[in-house]
């Protein structure tokens, strides 16, 4: 006798959409509140600001969503942003064509990520340890190469990546949107995405069915590195200067956004839509505090408060329903 | 069960919202409350005689700013400072607000959440550029991080004044952006003046070291280069180490412990701000080398003042933040009222050391 | 004792030794697994049975000896070689990704794709339903993360995966240790039905009743050696129990 039930409840699905719905709800309320409080908030100029600022964080957060859902963490992204930006700056000043320099810079991000991935998967060192080391290493290289000085004076076409106009929106918004779509497809429809989750869910299980863990695990960090490389490109283009301090401590904001979005630090689950909403929410909070002229002290307080609250709520619900191990 | 959850959710949302509303209201209320309080203390302070050194500095600066703008037209000036985690900037915020009140204008002082957060500072400026300020005064974390925001402000026709750490003008101009005014401290000169004064107390030569701020930041590089030039051009003085302390108290402490391990005969430390200098003093105290090593900082914070008076810290360099911010606001008014000032305005500097610290009572 | 690999034997482990430093976990162990039969390893903790399984699944390299599989001889195996030779292990922890559903776990590592890279969920679900029907396995929630399923259902998923992934020899490590009575009866029934469906089974267990119930051949291990080899038809449960208590 067999009963096969095709259409079944999916507790986890319900749960995750709850967390996202909650965040979305907070976002909507916040937007409504800010709109009612300030005439400057709900203007196209300001919305564009918010989207523009969100897109940088979002691109990094997408890479981080992959890393965290695989049970790892990448603390080096801020430093990769700086170093790939500097590489682009040096190449531009050496007369390398813009498009080549841009691509090489993004690629360098991938290489720096591959170095992390190699150490993590080959020597089985915890990602926290490896990336806390490379965070310092890459930042150090940036400072040494530049002697602490920003690099600037690039050809005029270069600012397109950060500030060009595509109708009413900027390239970073387009790039971020494309990255979100790509990440969605990867997670949903490819082995790469599914294995990323399984590495977080049960790495040993994946190894036992004969999957090349080292390859997939390293490639997660390559992806994160590429995301950081793209942000390095955009940031350098936007500032029209490559700074050794670019992206300093950026990783904490990004990790916060990913966690807030509902991706579990334990790995195994990813919530891409949560990451998107969380990034927008954090940008709106920062922007809102500026618009309302509220001291920066409250920014930290407020963001910390939302993160702890949201994470606690979804963990409690999770715990109640899913007894794993 | 379900009802409970919804109630919980609503509760949470209300809490979150009330935090926002709460802090918004608080600032308004406390501002109002402070204003009335301040007025009293302010007038009281005015009637007391002003520190003669401040008066002297104010006169020098005001001469640079001549002719004066019309005052008290209720302009709204946005100020973007570096961070409220540094007492120096906290003090600057305070002085901005006092000066604005005396000038009869409104001022809103915003900042990045932490001192190294270049991206957030830019986001803050982006937000400011959509508001209706008559002018914006900004002090960037580093030379380039605010450039896109300055361009946004330019496009919105809000005059931009750069106070303190310099914006990379060349990079800005390449992108067709511009600054409408500059008021600054000559950082290189700060470094030079401190180093020269230190040498008055290190009479028989020896080893000295510099603790930098955040590598790449304008104040840090300028002060370091200025001091370096003096040290290297003085016979008998050997500059043994330049270390980045990132404006961080703890880092500076560790650097100092390391320095005295490596150079037990060290004679002087120049730290690029007081926070780091005070950390160096702490570390030297533990090692019992306080009397041997001359330590100077920059900024002359309240803590530094106490430390110098107590004979721990040896010296610092300062300008008057109240004069500085007042000048900044006046410059902003002049520019928003259509006067052109192309040349940078320099804030006068004063060395503080053990021998003259008493003259700085009531410094602000 | 000289053994020759015949066509009846799927695996023949010949004189396998393994030591960890000074500890000899396996001392010249030889063992045959007959095709379409259930063989069981019984022994106390530290008797070497887990080490033996690890050698067979490719996660440990023996110091000495030869592993014959289907007539091919290996000095040692890797998980990949074991996999390719149709050997799979259902570990006590089941090696399931708790966040994936039954379909995802059954196809883990062997996903069906369109155009070589797009995952084909419909096809995977169809094949899973067919397979489970054939095996008479009841998993009510195919699209629910297996973390929500019961122990017995999770075990069924793990077994289904081994079978689905084209395995011929399925090794069970304490298959019912963490299960309730009802579930372990169902699991035993499933394991018992495997030989008739063309599978060879090697099972580790503490539970002599279970072993006697389902195994065709029983090896008792102690201190890295096989000390008793019994064919079930030749022995009663009482004799088996008596024999073991004598040894220990």
Closest partner residue to B9 (CB to CB) among A22, A30, A238 is A22
Is the fold of B51-185+321-349 the same as that of B187-318? yes
Give A 65-104 residues with CB within 8 A of chain C: none
Interval A25-34: pLDDT, tens? 989 999 999 9
The 10 Å Cβ neighbour count of residue B177 is 22
CA distances from B63 to A128, B11, B185, B346 (A): 57, 58, 16, 11
Give A 270-289 residues with CB within 8 A of chain B: 283, 286-288
Looking at CA atoms only, how far is residue A195 from chain C in angstroms?
8
Q: What is the pLDDT of residue C50?
A: 86
Instruction: Provide the token pair at A129.
Output: 């340890």
Nearest to A312 by CA among A13, A11, A22, A14: A22
Nearest to C92 by CA among C132, C125, C45, C127: C45
Overall pTM surpassing 0.90 (yes/no) = no
Residues C78 and A207: beta-carbon distance below 8 Å = no
Least confident of B84-98, B219-233, B286-300, C232-246: C232-246
Least confident of A49-53, A292-296, B262-266, B337-341: A292-296
Name the percent of chain B in helix, strand, coil, to the closest 5: 50, 15, 30
The distance between the two most distant Cα atoms of chain C, rounded to a whole number of Å, is: 62
Looking at CA atoms only, how far is residue A259 from chain B in angstroms?
18
At B71, is the secondary structure helix, strand, or coil? Answer: coil
Q: Which residues in chain C show pLDDT less than 50?
A: 1-5
Q: Which residue on chain A is closest to C132 by alpha carbon?
A: A2
User: CB contact, 8 Å: A262 with chain C?
Assistant: no
**Angular region, C21: left φ>0, alpha ψ -120 to 50, beta rest:** left
Residues in chain A closer than 8 A to C136 (CB atoms)? 1-2
Q: What is the pLDDT of residue A321?
A: 57
Q: Respond yes or no on whether the N-terminal peptide bond of residue B67 is cis (omega within 30° of 0).
A: yes
Residues C155 and C175: beta-carbon distance below 8 Å = yes
CA distances from C193 to A4, C189, C200 (A): 20, 6, 11
pLDDT for B102 beyond 50: yes
Domains of chain A: 44-251 (1.10.3470.10)
Mean pLDDT of the region B297-313 = 90
Residues in chain A closer than 8 A to C147 (CB atoms)? 12, 322-324
How are beta strands C169-173 and C87-90 bridged, if at all?
A: parallel
User: CB contact, 8 Å: A290 with chain C?
Assistant: no
Contacts of B213 (CB under 8 A, 6+ apart): B219, B220, B223, B244, B245, B246, B247, B272, B273, B276
Residues in chain C closer than 8 A to A191 (CB atoms)? 111, 113, 117, 119
What are the residue ranges of CATH 3.40.50.300 in chain C? 1-86+168-248
Looking at CA atoms only, how far is residue A113 from chain B in angstroms?
22
Cα gap B268→B198, rounded to integer Å: 8
Q: What is the pLDDT of residue B178?
A: 93
User: CB contact, 8 Å: B110 with chain A?
Assistant: yes
Cα gap B116→B110, rounded to integer Å: 15
Q: How many helices (H) and strands (E) does chain A have?
A: 12, 2
How are beta strands B345-346 and B181-184 bridged, if at all?
A: parallel
At B207, is the secondary structure helix, strand, or coil? Answer: strand
The 10 Å Cβ neighbour count of residue C23 is 10
Pick B176 or B30 by higher pLDDT. B176
**Domain spans of chain B, in order of start:** 51-185+321-349, 187-318
Question: How many Cα atoms within 13 Å fall on the side-chain side of residue A99?
Answer: 0
Domain covering B51-185+321-349 in this structure, CATH number: 3.40.50.2300
Superfamily of domain C1-86+168-248: P-loop containing nucleotide triphosphate hydrolases (3.40.50.300)
Supply the mean pLDDT for chain B: 84
Residues in chain C closer than 8 A to A188 (CB atoms)? 119
Cα gap A173→A179, rounded to integer Å: 10
Instruction: Provide the token pair at C224.
Output: 């890295």
Q: Taking CB atoms and an 8 Å limit, are A241 and B113 in contact across chains?
A: no
Subunits close to C (at least 3 CB pairs below 8 A): A
Contacts of C90 (CB under 8 A, 6+ apart): C155, C158, C159, C162, C170, C171, C172, C173, C175
Element (H, E) at B319: none
Mean pLDDT of the region B309-316 = 93
Domain covering B187-318 in this structure, CATH number: 3.40.50.2300
The per-residue pLDDT string of chain A (325 residues; one tens digit each, 9 = 90 and over) reads: 233 333 333 444 445 567 788 889 989 999 999 999 888 899 988 898 899 889 999 999 999 999 999 999 999 999 999 999 999 999 999 999 999 999 999 999 999 999 999 999 999 999 999 999 999 999 999 989 988 777 888 888 898 898 787 878 889 999 999 999 999 999 999 999 999 999 999 998 888 887 889 999 999 999 999 999 999 999 999 888 888 888 888 898 899 999 889 888 888 889 999 999 999 999 898 888 888 878 777 777 888 888 788 778 777 766 665 544 3
Element (H, E) at B268: strand B266-271
Nearest to C90 by CA among C167, C11, C172, C10: C172
Pick B158 or A289 by higher pLDDT. B158
| pLDDT band of B7, cuts 50, 70, 90 | low
Cα gap A202→A268, rounded to integer Å: 8
Q: Which residue on chain B is closest to A48 by alpha carbon?
A: B126
Nearest to A281 by CA among A294, A263, A296, A299: A299
Closest partner residue to C104 (CB to CB) among A12, A194, A210 is A194
Q: Taking CB atoms and an 8 Å limit, are B21 and A53 in contact across chains?
A: no
Looking at CA atoms only, how far is residue C235 from chain A in angstroms?
34
Which residue matches tokens 């904490």? A252
Which of C98, C107, C116 is the mutation pick for testing A, counting most A CBs within 10 A?
Answer: C98
Residues in chain C closer than 8 A to A189 (CB atoms)? 118-119
Interval B35-90: pLDDT, tens? 444 444 444 344 345 677 788 888 888 888 877 888 777 889 999 999 888 888 98
């Amino acid at each position: 006798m067999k009963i096969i039930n095709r259409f079944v409840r999916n507790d986890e699905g319900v749960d995750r959409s709850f967390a996202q719905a909650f965040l979305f709800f907070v976002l909507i309320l916040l937007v409504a509140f800010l709109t009612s409080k300030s005439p400057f908030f709900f203007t196209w100029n300001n919305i564009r600001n918010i989207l523009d600022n969100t897109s940088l964080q979002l691109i990094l957060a997408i890479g981080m969503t992959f890393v965290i859902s695989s049970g790892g963490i990448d603390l080096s992204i801020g430093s990769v942003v700086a170093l790939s930006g500097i590489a682009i700056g040096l190449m531009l000043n050496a007369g390398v064509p813009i498009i080549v320099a841009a691509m090489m810079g993004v690629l360098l991000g991938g290489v720096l990520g591959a170095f992390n991935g190699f150490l993590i998967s080959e020597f089985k060192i915890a990602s926290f340890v490896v990336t806390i080391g490379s965070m310092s290493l890459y930042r150090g290289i940036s400072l040494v190469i530049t002697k602490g000085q920003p690099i600037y004076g690039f050809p005029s076409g270069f600012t397109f990546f950060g500030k060009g106009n595509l109708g009413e929106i900027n390239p970073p918004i387009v790039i971020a949107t494309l990255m979100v779509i790509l990440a969605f497809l990867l997670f949903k429809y490819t082995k790469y995405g599914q294995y990323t989750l399984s590495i977080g869910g049960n790495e040993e299980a994946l190894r036992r069915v004969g999957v090349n863990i080292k390859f997939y695990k390293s490639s997660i960090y390559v992806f994160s590195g590429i995301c950081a490389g793209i942000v390095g490109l955009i940031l350098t283009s936007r500032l029209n200067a490559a700074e050794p301090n670019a992206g300093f401590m950026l990783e904490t904001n990004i990790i916060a956004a990913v966690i807030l979005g509902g991706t579990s630090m334990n790995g195994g689950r990813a919530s891409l839509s949560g990451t998107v909403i969380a990034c927008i929410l954090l940008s709106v909070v920062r922007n809102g505090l500026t618009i309302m002229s509220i001291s920066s002290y409250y920014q930290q307080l407020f963001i910390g408060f939302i993160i702890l609250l949201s994470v606690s709520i979804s963990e409690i619900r999770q715990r109640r329903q899913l007894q794993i191990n | 069960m379900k009802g409970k959850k919804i109630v919980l959710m609503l509760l949470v949302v209300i809490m979150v919202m009330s935090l926002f509303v709460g802090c918004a209201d608080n600032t308004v209320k406390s501002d109002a409350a402070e204003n009335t309080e301040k007025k009293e203390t302010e007038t009281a302070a005015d009637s007391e005689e002003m520190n003669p050194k401040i008066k002297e500095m104010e006169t020098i600066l005001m001469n640079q700013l001549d002719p004066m703008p019309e005052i008290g037209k209720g302009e709204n000036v946005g100020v973007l400072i570096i961070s409220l985690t540094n007492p120096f900037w906290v003090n600057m915020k305070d002085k901005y607000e006092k000066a604005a009140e005396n000038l009869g204008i409104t001022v809103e002082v915003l900042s990045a959440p932490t001192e190294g957060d270049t991206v957030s500072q830019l986001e803050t400026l982006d937000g400011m550029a959509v508001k209706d300020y008559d002018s914006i005064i900004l002090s960037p974390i580093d030379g380039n991080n605010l450039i896109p925001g300055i361009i946004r402000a330019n496009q919105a026709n809000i005059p931009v004044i750069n106070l303190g750490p310099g914006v990379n003008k060349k990079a800005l101009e390449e992108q067709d952006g511009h600054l409408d005014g500059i008021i600054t401290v000559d950082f290189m000169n700060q470094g030079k003046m401190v180093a020269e004064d230190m040498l008055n107390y290190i009479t028989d030569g020896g080893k000295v070291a510099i603790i930098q701020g955040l590598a790449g930041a304008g104040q840090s590089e300028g002060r370091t280069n200025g001091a370096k030039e003096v040290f290297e051009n003085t016979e008998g003085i050997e500059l043994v180490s330049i270390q980045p302390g990132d404006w961080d108290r703890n880092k500076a402490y560790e650097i100092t412990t390391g320095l005295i391990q490596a150079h037990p005969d060290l004679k002087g430390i120049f730290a690029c701000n007081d926070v780091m200098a005070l950390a160096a003093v702490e570390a030297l105290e533990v090692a019992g080398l306080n009397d041997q090593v001359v330590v100077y900082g920059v900024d002359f914070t309240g803590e530094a003042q106490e430390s110098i008076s107590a004979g721990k810290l040896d010296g610092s360099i300062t300008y008057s933040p109240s004069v500085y911010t007042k000048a900044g606001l006046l410059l902003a008014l002049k520019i928003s009222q259509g006067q052109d000032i192309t040349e940078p305005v320099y804030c006068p500097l004063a060395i503080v050391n053990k021998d003259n610290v008493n003259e700085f009572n009531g410094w602000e | 004792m000289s053994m020759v690999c015949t066509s009846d034997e799927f695996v023949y482990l010949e004189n396998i030794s393994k030591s960890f430093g000074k500890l000899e976990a396996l001392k010249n162990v030889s063992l045959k697994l007959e095709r379409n039969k259930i063989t069981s390893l019984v022994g106390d903790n530290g008797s070497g049975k887990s080490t033996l399984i690890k050698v067979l699944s490719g996660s440990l390299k023996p110091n000495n000896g030869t592993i014959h599989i289907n007539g091919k001889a290996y000095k040692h195996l890797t998980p990949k070689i074991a996999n390719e030779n149709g050997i799979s292990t259902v570990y006590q922890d089941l090696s399931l990704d708790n966040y994936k559903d039954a379909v995802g776990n059954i196809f883990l590592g062997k996903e069906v794709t369109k155009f070589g890279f797009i995952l084909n969920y419909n096809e995977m679900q169809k094949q899973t339903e067919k397979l489970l029907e054939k095996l008479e396995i009841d998993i009510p929630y195919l699209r629910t993360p297996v973390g929500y399923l019961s122990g017995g259902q999770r075990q069924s998923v793990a077994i289904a995966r081994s079978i689905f992934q084209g395995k011929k020899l399925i090794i069970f490590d304490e298959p019912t240790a963490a299960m309730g009575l009802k579930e372990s009866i169902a699991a035993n029934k499933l394991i018992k039905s495997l030989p008739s469906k063309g599978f060879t089974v090697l099972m580790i267990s503490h539970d002599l009743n279970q072993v006697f119930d389902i195994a065709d051949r029983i090896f008792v291990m102690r201190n890295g050696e096989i000390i008793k080899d019994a064919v079930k038809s030749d022995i009663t449960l009482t004799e088996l129990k008596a024999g073991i208590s004598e040894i220990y």
